[in-house]
Structures are given as C-alpha cells and as structure tokens.
Amino acid sequence: MAFDLFFGREPVQDLAPGLRLARGFFDEAAQRRLADEVAALARAAPFYRPHMPNSGRPFSVLMTNFGALGWVSSVAGYRYQPTHPETGAAFPPIPALALEAWERLAGVLCAPQACLVNYYAPGARMGLHQDADEGDFSAPVVSISLGCDALFRYGGARRADPTRSVRLRSGDVVVMGGPARLVFHGVDRIYPGTSGLLPQGGRLNLTMRHVRPPRD
C-alpha cells in the first residue's frame, strides 16, 4: 500500500481529549513530494499577505488555499470563498498526499473542502485563535507541518483557559476534533535552521477543513 511507503509508524499521541499528534506521519520522501506539490500549485494560487478585519493590520504569515473553498481574511472580515482574493481564479485542488492524511486520521467519511496553507518566514507567528468560521464542526481540522520546527500552543474552548505547548517537526500532523474542535491554538515561534526541506527556509502549514454540512 502507498501508506506503507510514505507514512511513519510512531503511535499517535493524545495531547488532550480530541487533540492528537501523529508524530513523523510523513517520512522524508513524502515531505519532499508534498512540499514540491505545494510549490507547484502555488504558482497558480500565489501566496499573499492577508489583513485583519477592521484594523487592516497585516498578518505575519503569507497565505494561500487549495480546494473548492479558501479561507480569506481582509478588512471586510473572515470568510470562505471559491476564488483567490488577488487573482480571482479558482483555487487548485488539495494535494493527494494531504488528502491521504485526512483519510487516515480524520475518522470521518466527508472530505475536506478547504486547505489553508500558511507560510511562516523567520519571525512569523500566529496568535491564539479558534477555527470557527465553518458551518459544520462535526469533522476535525487536520494540520500538516512541513519545514522548520514550530512551537504550537493550545488551550481550551475559552481564550482565558490555561495553555500548553508542544514542538512540531516537519512531517508531523495534528488533528483537532471532538471536544478539541474549537480549542484556542496558535504558533508562538518557528525555529530557523531546523529543516532544509524548503529552499527558502521557514515552515509550511497545511490545514484541511470540512466547511459546510451536507445538504439534505
């Protein structure tokens, strides 16, 4: 099976109820294949710098999307839409290797409709937030790390809840589902020089989500 060729065999760790870490899920060959595919798809859906709603403050990460829908942040607000906010073109499909991770780890029959891709250059971070713009929370969020290590922080369903941190490495996959579907989480920092996977350095994070509930 393809899974035997590409995917690591370390046991999945339970970080909290519903929050799981598949350490080393992608081996080095699979990481390279996925990173190369992201680079190719990003030529059709280039990375751009989003802005915060209302304030217009720029994010420290660059962003793009793959799939039928893409998550977008601008002065007008957070939303999902089917087209790239700068080119107006439809987003390219989600990479096959990322979809295989969803199939192995999500534990649901529905497919992801969106794959948000964040690029973290040295110094970039992501503040504590919830993934709460979807119309369906029954499916988990599946998040893939590629490139340099990152310090991932997670808490509870309230912003004021205590937090913990875990260092994520290239090839790791985090699953947030069930009671952890709406936990606050973020990336406090990346560790430059910890991976040579990306020619430009830094870290890629692919976050797959099922956005809309099925129609009756």
| Residue 36 in domain | yes
| Residue 80 in domain | no
C-beta atoms surrounding 135 within 10 Å: 9
Residue 212 has what pLDDT? Answer: 87
Average pLDDT (141-146) is 98
Residue 8 has what pLDDT? Answer: 60
| Residue 148 in domain | yes
| Residue 84 in domain | no
Residue 192 has what pLDDT? Answer: 97
Contacts of 190 (CB under 8 A, 6+ apart): 120, 122, 124, 125, 148, 149, 150, 151, 202, 203
| Residue 81 in domain | no
| Residue 90 in domain | no
Total domains present in the chain: 1
CATH number of the domain that residue 129 is part of: 2.60.120.590
How deeply is 128 buried, as exposed, middle or buried, from its count of CB atoms within 10 A (0-12, 13-18, 19+)? middle
Out of 4-18, 58-72, 159-173, least confident range: 4-18
Mean pLDDT of the chain: 94
How deeply is 56 buried, as exposed, middle or buried, from its count of CB atoms within 10 A (0-12, 13-18, 19+)? exposed
Residue 7 has what pLDDT? Answer: 59
pTM over 0.85: yes
Q: Is the pLDDT of residue 3 over 50?
A: no
Residue 1 has what pLDDT? Answer: 28
Average pLDDT (5-34) is 88
| Residue 83 in domain | no
Q: Domain range for residue 197?
A: 1-42+55-70+111-156+164-216
Q: Is the pLDDT of residue 140 over 50?
A: yes
| Residue 76 in domain | no
